[in-house]
Amino acid sequence: MDTDQADVFRARVAKHAALADPARLRIVDLLTLGDLSPTELQAELGMPSNLLSHHLRTLEGSGLAVRHRSEADKRRSYIRLAAGALDGLAPGGEHSARRVLFVCTRNSARSQLATALWQQVSDIPATSAGTHPADGIASGAISVASRHGVALADVRPRRLDEVAHDDDFVVSVCDNAHEGIPNLGGIHWSVPDPLRLNTELAFETAYAEIASRVNDLAPRLHAA
């Protein structure tokens, strides 16, 4: 971890430590709605002024809150959330990628859906491949994509070794692919195979899980 990354990590730790106290978490909850004076916060929380002062100093020291003087009554101050106070609090660091490669066994459903969904939310190129490709994309995958207005790529399922580049950010969306190729690398999403049941519900469930994971990952990757 380089110096800049270490500094960012320490800042996140400080914020999490500050929010670990129930009173400070409640203060931040209140500040997400608007600015409050210490007197207003004291009335809302029902705590002594010296204890509130301690909590506010901690929030300010961790970069979560800032204080400014009232333009009306100069003796009064207001507490507000610092700009970007809550940025980066979700666990997980950022990574760079030239291309995202989604991998499953047959490259007929999960990896195809993941690629199509990724292309809706990220400018980073994406493609897919399979360890044992099928002859075509599963009809259930085509149907669920159509129901959600997602366009699947008009490409046949392809073998991993036909597609993979050394600098790909690999995402396996299949336990068989992840466990069958120990040196596959990258990250793994354990998404159940909808073709096992081959029902509309199975494909809808797989689609929903993949969409959620794609939306979580996309903000954490930036183009290399």
Which position has the token pair 């705590």?
A: 47
The verdict on 219 and 120 lying in the same domain is: yes
User: Has residue 86 been placed in a domain?
Assistant: no
Mind listing the pLDDT tens digit for each residue in 164-215? 999 999 999 999 999 999 888 899 999 999 999 999 999 999 999 999 999 9
**Which residue type does 30 have?**
L
CB atoms within 10 A of CB 23: 15
Provide mean pLDDT across the span 149-178: 94
| 121 and 186 fall within a common domain | yes
How many distinct structural domains can be found in the chain? 2
CATH code of the domain in which 22 resides = 1.10.10.10
Q: pTM for the whole thing?
A: 0.74
User: Is residue 90 domain-resident?
Assistant: no
What are the helix (H) ranges across the chain?
3-19, 22-31, 38-45, 49-61, 110-121, 139-147, 160-163, 175-180, 200-217
Q: Are residues 105 and 198 in the same domain?
A: yes
> CA torsion sign, 43 to 46 to 48 to 50?
negative
pLDDT in tens, 10-32: 999 999 999 999 999 999 999 99
pLDDT tops 70 at residue 149: yes
Residue range of the domain that includes 76 = 3-81
